[in-house]
Amino acid sequence: MTCENVQASLPFLLYGELSFDEEEQLEQHLDGCAPCRQALEATRVLHAAFDRSAEPLPAPLLLECRRELRLRVREDAGERRGLNWWRKLAGLMQPAFLTPVWSRSLGALAMLVLGFAGARLTSPAPSRTAPTFDTVPVSGTRVRFVEPTENNGLVKITVEETRERQVTGKLDDARIRQLLLSAAQDPADPGLRVETIGLLQRETETAEVRQALIAAMQSDENAGVRMKALQGLKRYAAHPEVRSALAAVLLHDGNPGIRTQAIDLLVQHKQRDVVGALQQLMEREDNDYIRQRTQRLLSDLNASVDSF
């Protein structure tokens, strides 16, 4: 292997894109060739510089994109459903045997029938009990079942509708709070959960909100949501229930950033209720900062570092 070949392969060595044999040959060459080792070091520096060519995503961009996509998918689905509906209707009205003259006559007849049907559907009919629909097609509508009825040749259609509507209200309004508490558990959208927890932070006086934050902090699968919930509980770091949850986070959360925040909150109030958990933590924690803080807190509480 020549030095030229080796140096051309160095980027692929760093990317792990060489075969086992190629890598072996290259390593052998590098062992005995100082200029190529220098070239490898230079390629490492170059790759480190490449790392800087990436721009971090602007924070709200992903959430905005998701929101817009959700709306556009619904619109798109609605439009396509509408198009299919009209295409089917057009297909029915144009069988192959019809001449243009017949088509025109039947078209006129169909317009008449549709006119009558439309008038029946849109005119006020207070005595009728069965629900009707106001527009066809409705964006986000899905037909689930169709069945003929025995009377008047009517057709019964079961429609599943998803409608968006905006609700505005203050956080102390129980209905608003219920909606937020439900959004805070939406499994499909961690972005929505982060935003919701951020809003709920302002209403932590309410026990059910605190419970929701504690639940999110302890069990949400997304670290961003857990962190947001933990920040929302800062004011309650002296509260026994919150302290017990923080201790559980310290013992079980896999994210060292979250554990760091948890220990920082616990040390603010030197209470002995979490001594057992802290002693357990000392047996398993491998993060130096968290260990130091825990050790210090145990020492301040005159508790042993070991759990015996």
Phi-psi region of 89 (alpha: psi -120 to 50; beta: other; left: phi over 0): alpha
Q: Which stretch binds another protein (CB under 8 A): 76-84, 111-119, 171-179, 251-259?
A: 76-84
Whether the Cβ atoms of residue 264 and residue 290 lie closer than 8 Å to each other: no
Cα distance between residue 76 and residue 308, in whole Å = 64
Q: In which element (H, E) is residue 142 found?
A: strand 141-148
User: Minimum Å distance from CB 51 to another protein?
Assistant: 8
Residue closer to another protein by CB (options 50, 289) is 50
The bridge status of strand 155-161 relative to strand 141-148 is antiparallel
| Contact status: 53 vs another protein (CB under 8 A) | yes
Q: Which is nearer to another protein, 64 or 241 (CB)?
A: 64
Nearest to 179 by CA among 163, 161, 200: 200
* Residue 45 is a binding residue for another protein (CB under 8 A): yes
Query: Is residue 50 within the footprint of another protein (CB under 8 A)?
Result: yes
Q: Is position 190 an interface residue for another protein (rule: CB under 8 A)? A: yes
> Which of 73, 89, 111, 305 is the binder for another protein (CB under 8 A)?
73
Cβ-based neighbours of 97, under 8 Å, separated by 6 or more: none
Exposure b/e, 230-241, CB count within 10 A at least 16 = b: bbbbeebbebee
Q: Which stretch binds another protein (CB under 8 A): 56-64, 198-206, 212-220, 270-278?
A: 56-64
Q: Taking contact as CB under 8 A, which single stretch among the options 30-38, 51-59, 100-108, 123-131 is the one that binds another protein?
A: 51-59
CB of 272 vs another protein, minimal distance in Å: 39
- Can you tell me the distance from the alpha carbon of 123 to that of 127, in angstroms, rounded to the nearest whole number? 12
Instruction: Pick from 24, 64, 205, 273 the residue near another protein by CB under 8 A.
Output: 64
Q: Please pick, from the candidates 3, 24, 70, 305, the single residue that binds another protein as defined by CB under 8 A.
A: 70
Per CB under 8 A, does 57 bind another protein?
yes
With CB under 8 A as the contact rule, which of the stretches 41-49, 104-112, 151-159, 258-266 interacts with another protein?
Answer: 41-49
Partners of 143 in the β-ladder: 159
Mapped onto helix, strand or coil, the DSSP state of residue 226 is helix
CB of residue 69 to another protein, shortest distance in Å: 5
Buried b (16+ CB within 10 A) or exposed e, 202-226: ebbeeeebbebbbebbbebeeeebb
Q: Which residues bind another protein (CB under 8 A)?
A: 8, 11-12, 15, 17, 42, 45-47, 49-55, 57-58, 61-62, 64-66, 68-70, 72-74, 76-77, 80, 142, 162, 188-190
